[in-house]
Amino acid sequence: MSGIPGRVTPNLFGIAFGFAGLAACWSQQSRAVGDGLWLLAAAVWLGLLILYAAQRPRDHHDPVFAPFLSLIAIVPMMAGPPLAAHARAAGVTVYVVGLLLTVLYGGWLSARWIVEDIPFATWHPGYFLPTVAGGLIAAQGAALLGFRDLAFVMLGFGVVCWLVLGSILLLRLFTQPTLPPGLLPTMAIEVAPPVVAGNAWFAVNGQRPDVVALLLAGYALLMVLLQVGLLPLYRQAPFGPGWWAFSFAYAAVAADALQWLHAKDVPARAAWSYVLLAAITAWVAWLAFRTILAVARGTFLPPRPAPAAPPKEPVPA
């Protein structure tokens, strides 16, 4: 680890999560491009996992970082269905292992949030990740793999957690001091639940734009407009790992919009699809470029904690 100029924190798994979201978008339009991006997401995930595990971390006790650890299981769970298109048994296995880890960690973390005295001002929209994002992504994956009953179970898991946590997190954002600069980008995650739920519902109901899909689209519209209103706050955030919160959240918006273009058979659908794909690809590419630049300058990763000082020798009497 001596060659890493800083600490590898759990929110860095948002990089792999962002590439997975981009891969999911492209998979709707081009399987070849989508598969290439899934491989990139898997490589980034594996590299980060090795670097992170080498630190022997204990971030599952950290009220800020603990929710991001769920991405270690969520990213491979997302990759299960596209992998199953090439190797069914391998894809289902990867999905099921990711699902089990996601549900177990989400349940354990939810219990901690109830039992432990976590300051309200410490909460941030990343708390959506373990159970809301995990549950809704699991529902979409189950539907794509043909496990319809499991899809409804996980849809209930994700939606109920969204209703509970959504009210708590909005109350925190409305009534507590503004998030610290490094956590400001996590507010992008507020846009994710309705669009991820929309993607899951389209997978469950066969891409029909029914009443549920329309209701989710209405709330998604509000959350997109909210993001526009938050632009002045986002400008105050220094570039760092937290900025990758923008990647999956906005990729999920693009994926949901692509689903609607297909469901409504919009004129010039292919052209509009490529406009959306070009926009989200350019955004993720910009994040990747800024990340490489910041890593090269040594400004991207937080400093590693200083080693504990050795105990002093007792002074002879």
Overall average pLDDT of the 250-263 stretch: 96
Tokens at 123, concatenated: 């909460």
List of residues 6+ apart from 90 with CB closer than 8 A: 83, 84
Of the chain, the percentage scoring pLDDT greater than 90 comes to 86
Q: Would you say residue 256 has pLDDT above 70?
A: yes
Whole-number average pLDDT of the chain: 93
Whether residue 67 contacts residue 108, with contact meaning beta carbons closer than 8 Å, is answered with no
**Domain 10-297: which CATH class?**
mainly alpha
Distance CA 272, CA 265 (A): 11
The reported pLDDT for the residue numbered 81 is: 98
Distance CA 146, CA 19 (A): 24
Chain centroid to CA 194 = 14
**pLDDT-wise least confident of 111-115, 152-156, 162-166, 313-317:** 313-317
Q: Which pTM does this prediction carry?
A: 0.93
Helix (H) / strand (E) element for 14: namely helix 13-27
- The alpha carbons of the chain give a radius of gyration, in whole angstroms, of 20
Overall average pLDDT of the 143-165 stretch: 97
Tokens at 33, concatenated: 């491009």
Q: What is the DSSP code (8-state) at residue 314?
A: P
Tokens at 277, concatenated: 């794909």
Domain ranges of the chain: 10-297
Whether residue 230 contacts residue 187, with contact meaning beta carbons closer than 8 Å, is answered with yes
Distance CA 65, CA 22 (A): 23
List pLDDT tens digits, range 35-93: 999 999 999 999 999 999 998 888 898 999 999 999 999 999 999 999 999 999 999 99
Of the chain, the percentage scoring pLDDT greater than 70 comes to 94
Nearest to 251 by CA among 86, 50, 41: 41
How many CA atoms are closer than 13 Å to the CA of 175, on its beta-carbon side?
8
Q: Would you say residue 311 has pLDDT above 80?
A: no
List pLDDT tens digits, range 266-310: 899 999 999 999 999 999 999 999 999 999 999 998 877 655 455
Overall average pLDDT of the 205-211 stretch: 94
